[in-house]
């Protein structure tokens, strides 16, 4: 549901943002008070930005992008540490991995997808924003079957993911490296209504 915060004036298209908590969400049924005004810890933090006109996004190759927003893959492996916490859009890269999905996944990962009856997620769309997820931590050697393990000289960081949302319709977009700002078509994204 659309709304407008009676304290800062943020809306669905111009949310507030905090580096650890991500974008704001409605805290009441009237949708006239956002979390980033209602929660003292966030509202008094000088890093809180009110009424921004962008969301953060991360480009991930298929089939991993669909596995993340489908609630199967709970880790994103990167060679760099991130301090980002909060909700982030998942953009499926224009080009998937060149191997077929069963060659990209190891046997445990493939079995996990198969037993959850989620094989259809291995053929998701490309070149579009397909959902969102929360980054809740960044560690090494996580216990998840999706976590790449640390060994010298390779040190992957395991970004711990939670609360995925799969969008009904993919939003065409061009991806970028690293975490990037997406500032087009925010009205198509129901991130404020979906926050739990």
Alpha helices in the chain (DSSP H): 35-38, 40-43, 64-69, 101-104, 107-115, 191-194
CB–CB of 36/16 below 8 Å? yes
The mean pLDDT of the chain is 82
Mean pLDDT across 41-58: 85
Counted residue by residue, the chain has a size of 196
pLDDT bracket for residue 21 (50, 70, 90): confident
Rounded to a whole number, what is the distance in angstroms from the first to the last CA of the chain?
14
3-class DSSP state of 64: helix
Show Cβ contacts of residue 35 under 8 Å, excluding neighbours closer than 6 positions: 16, 21, 24, 25, 26, 27, 42, 195
Q: What is the pLDDT of residue 19?
A: 80
**Which CATH class for the 55-190 domain?**
mainly beta
Q: Count the neighbouring beta carbons within 10 Å of the beta carbon of residue 10.
A: 24
SS (H, E, C) 79-132: CCCCCCCEEEEEEECCCCCCCCHHHHCCHHHHHHHHHCCCHHHHHCCCCEEEEE
Rounded to the nearest 10°, the torsion over CA 103, 173, 139, 107 is -10
How confident is the model over 46-65, as a mean pLDDT?
Answer: 86
Q: Which residues pair with 179 in a beta bridge?
A: 58
| pTM of this structure | 0.70
Cis peptide before 63 (omega within 30 of 0): yes
The 3-state DSSP class for residue 30 equals coil
- Residue 65's contacts (CB-CB under 8 Å, 6 or more residues apart) are 90, 91, 92, 93, 124, 130
Domain boundaries, the chain: 1-53, 55-190
Q: Taking Cα atoms as reference points, which of 84, 86, 7, 2 lies closest to residue 43?
A: 7
Give the pLDDT of residue 57: 93
Determine the average pLDDT of the residues in 22-44.
Answer: 90
């Amino acid at each position: 549901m659309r709304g407008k915060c009676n304290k800062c004036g943020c809306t669905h298209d111009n949310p507030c943002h905090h580096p650890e908590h991500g974008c704001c969400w409605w805290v009441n049924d009237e949708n006239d008070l956002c979390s980033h005004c209602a929660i003292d810890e966030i509202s008094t933090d000088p890093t809180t930005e009110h009424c921004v006109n962008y969301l953060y996004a991360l480009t991930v190759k298929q089939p991993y992008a669909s596995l993340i927003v489908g609630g199967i893959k709970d880790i994103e492996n990167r060679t760099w540490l991130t301090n980002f916490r909060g909700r982030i859009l998942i953009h499926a890269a224009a080009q998937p991995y060149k191997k077929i999905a069963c060659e990209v996944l190891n046997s445990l990962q493939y079995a996990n997808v198969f037993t959850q009856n989620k094989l259809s997620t291995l053929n998701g769309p490309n070149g579009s924003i397909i959902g969102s997820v929360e980054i809740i931590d960044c560690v090494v050697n996580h216990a998840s079957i999706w976590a790449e393990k640390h060994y010298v000289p390779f040190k992957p960081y395991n970004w711990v993911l939670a609360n995925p949302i799969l969008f009904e319709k993919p939003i065409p977009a061009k991806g970028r490296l690293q975490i990037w700002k997406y500032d087009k078509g925010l009205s198509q994204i129901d991130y404020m209504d979906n926050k739990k």
